[in-house]
Structure 1
């Protein structure tokens, strides 16, 4: 069959489910992944014909797309910042908002390092300059490992730890750490266990915990609600800040003085999350919006 005919079939079968631009993106992502063909191939070879073996994975992907299964799970890969990550139904698909959280951490680390260096040049009396060699970082609820691996990649001398309750998620994170050639120490623990003690203290703790309330489920698209792991997404309506409370309590014991907490948060609960940390003597609390204008990230410093 001609490749352009398969493209037409993608449009016909998926056009009632997805916008045309998204169908176009799906098609080209599939031919690149399965056939190693560039996007411009039909422009230079409009008569390109595929064998039955070459057609098969494209039609299998099409069948799964019709069920609204996320393309990342179909292809088994997702991109996060400058990383390529393996993903499956045991981990959330990394999102642009989470990239913003990582970029915030990296910017803060660079800013503090530069302040220290400038102070040294002016012969001020200061402590040892901060650099990533001095940092111990913990990512709680790591899933695919996207946050921990990105931080380890950009802060190569930091000691990065990643915690998750799911053995299956940790296997994905381990694979991703190895494929991206970074050293991340994986820990299998439940952050809701009040007795959790990793035997370490950290300079930075970061988390993108479950935060979508059950009452918000109807807002969630089918491709997320039906395929991504619900335990990594949803919390009860009665206690939507459950994981933030647990991480806050953990931080009181295992975050160093002046250590920093960074969170991705529920856009509807920004003020409530901010109030929680204010009530427990965390300082310099900053609520930040994402690229879509939603309250999405929060930083707090342990006094």
Structure 2
């Protein structure tokens, strides 16, 4: 079958679940990953064909997509901040909003006089996307990353090797941590923040496939991770050290109040590209 013909069939079969643009983007992502062919190659060589064996592989992927398994998990990889990351069922798929958080941290360092070593800690690292992106883009950074999941850390370690950076990974439950054992210039975290009451807003492909451990918190204590991490930051951030969070879009006001009550200074709440309250920055006194 001609690839062009299969493309039309592929998009049509996904139509009940995804819009045509998204289905077409899936097609070209798979085409590049499995056959090293880009959109332009198909335009220049419209008579290219799939073998019967290749169609079997594509049909198997199509079946998984119909079950709403994320394309990133099917390909085993995704892009974040211009870098390639392995992703699997043990880690969240990195989001564009988190790229904005990384950008904010990098932006804050541009105007600073370079210190010999900038010590950074990423809490709840998952795939390692924040820690690795910072290590890649801040030459003088000494980066540490904590996660409660051993399987997530194994993925993050492979991602550090893939992107040729050194990150110290630590298997630790942050809620049970009394002290971080050393001082940092920057602590950053994108912890679980989706309340159970918000589950109906979560897309089925996320709800059914991404790790709930990294997503959800109890409705009656939605800021549990933020409070704990902020307490640790009070002990383990150097004077004028910075604390960055990715947050629940509905809890921006509550986050600022929490940090104010804990006597952090220079508080800032930022919106993401979609206009939602998504990030905070605070400085330890």
Return the TM-score normalized by structure 2. 0.98
Distance change in 2, residues 1:156/1:53 (3 Å): farther
The alignment status of 1:263 with 2:249, answered yes or no, reads: no
CA distance in 2 between counterparts of 1:16 and 1:147 reads: 34
Is the CA contact 1:153–1:182 (under 8 Å) kept in the aligned structure 2?
yes
The aligned residue for residue 23 of structure 1 is: 23
CA distance in 2 between counterparts of 1:73 and 1:162 reads: 23
Given candidates 227, 235, 241, the residue that maps to 2:217 is 235
Tell me how large the CA RMSD over aligned residues is.
Answer: 1.0
CA distance in 2 between counterparts of 1:11 and 1:148 reads: 36
Given candidates 185, 205, 230, the residue that maps to 1:223 is 205
Alpha-carbon deviation of 1:182?
0.3
Q: Which runs of 5+ in 2 are unaligned?
A: none
The aligned residue for residue 68 of structure 1 is: 68
1:179-218 to structure 2, matched below 5 A, reads 179-195=162-178, 197-218=179-200
Secondary structure of 2:222's counterpart equals: coil
Is the CA contact 2:180–2:232 (under 8 Å) kept in the aligned structure 1?
no
Given candidates 132, 140, 144, the residue that maps to 1:161 is 144
For residues 107-150 of structure 1, the C-alpha deviation after alignment (integer angstroms, 9 at most, x for no partner) is: 1011223xxxxxxxxxxxxxxxx33x321000000000000000
CA distance in 2 between counterparts of 1:249 and 1:198 reads: 11
1:44-193 to structure 2, matched below 5 A, reads 44-113=44-113, 130-131=114-115, 133-193=116-176
Alpha-carbon deviation of 1:254?
1.2
Is the CA contact 1:137–1:161 (under 8 Å) kept in the aligned structure 2?
yes
Secondary structure of 2:182's counterpart equals: coil
CA distance in 1 between counterparts of 2:195 and 2:173 reads: 20
Larger radius of gyration: 1
CA distance in 1 between counterparts of 2:197 and 2:91 reads: 22
Given candidates 220, 223, 227, the residue that maps to 1:245 is 227
Secondary structure of 1:293's counterpart equals: coil
Runs of 4+ in 1 over 4 A off after TM superposition: none
Q: Which runs of 5+ in 1 are unaligned?
A: 114-129
Is the CA contact 1:35–1:54 (under 8 Å) kept in the aligned structure 2?
no
CA distance in 1 between counterparts of 2:203 and 2:145 reads: 28
Equivalenced residues, count:
285
Is the CA contact 1:139–1:205 (under 8 Å) kept in the aligned structure 2?
yes
The aligned residue for residue 116 of structure 1 is: none
